[in-house]
Amino acid sequence: MARGAKRYAYNHLLAMTSMRGSDVERLSPPQRRAYLERQLRAVGLQIHLLGNELGVDPEVEPSGWSWSVGPNDKGRWSALLQLEYLVAARDALRETLDAI
């Protein structure tokens, strides 16, 4: 299907998938932007899914989340910390995309 679309840069897709786990700085600026936008979408989806699972609105600052969990609820603590990490990663990706 990708080959059938007009002006679809199939070679960019192949280059990006072959670079998975490699040095992003070696990508050309358009490829780097596409790679970072794809990563931003993936992180956004993870945030959305984890936020729904926890019953937390990820758009609210982490200080507004319900951190009042018992000390024995390690799974919820872990999930909340993972969500906070993902929100920080999303913000870093947005800042990087704005700088490109």
Which residues have a Cβ under 8 Å from the Cβ of 26 and sit 6 or more positions away? 19
* Structural domain span for residue 58: 29-99
Number of domains present in the structure of the chain = 1
Question: Is residue 7 assigned to a domain?
Answer: no
Between residues 50 and 66, which one has the greater pLDDT? 50
Cβ contact 64:72 at 8 Å = no
The pLDDT of residue 1: 47
Whether 15 is covered by a domain: the verdict is no
Q: Is the pLDDT of residue 66 over 90?
A: no
Residue 4 within a domain: no
Whether the predicted pLDDT of 98 surpasses 90: yes
Is 90 part of a structural domain of the chain?
yes
Is 1 part of any domain? no
Question: What does the pLDDT read at residue 43?
Answer: 94
Classify residue 55: in a domain, yes or no. Answer: yes
Establish if 39 belongs to a structural domain. yes
Stretch 36-58: mean pLDDT? 87
Mean pLDDT of the chain, nearest integer:
77
Percent of the chain with pLDDT over 70: 62
Alpha helices, DSSP H only, in 1-100?
Answer: 10-18, 29-54, 74-99
Indicate the pTM of the whole model: 0.66
Q: Check whether 71 has a pLDDT greater than 80.
A: no
- The predicted model gives 71-91 an average pLDDT of 83
Look at residue 2 and tell me if it is in a domain: no
Phi-psi region of 7 (alpha: psi -120 to 50; beta: other; left: phi over 0): left
Instruction: Pick 47 or 5 by higher pLDDT.
Output: 47
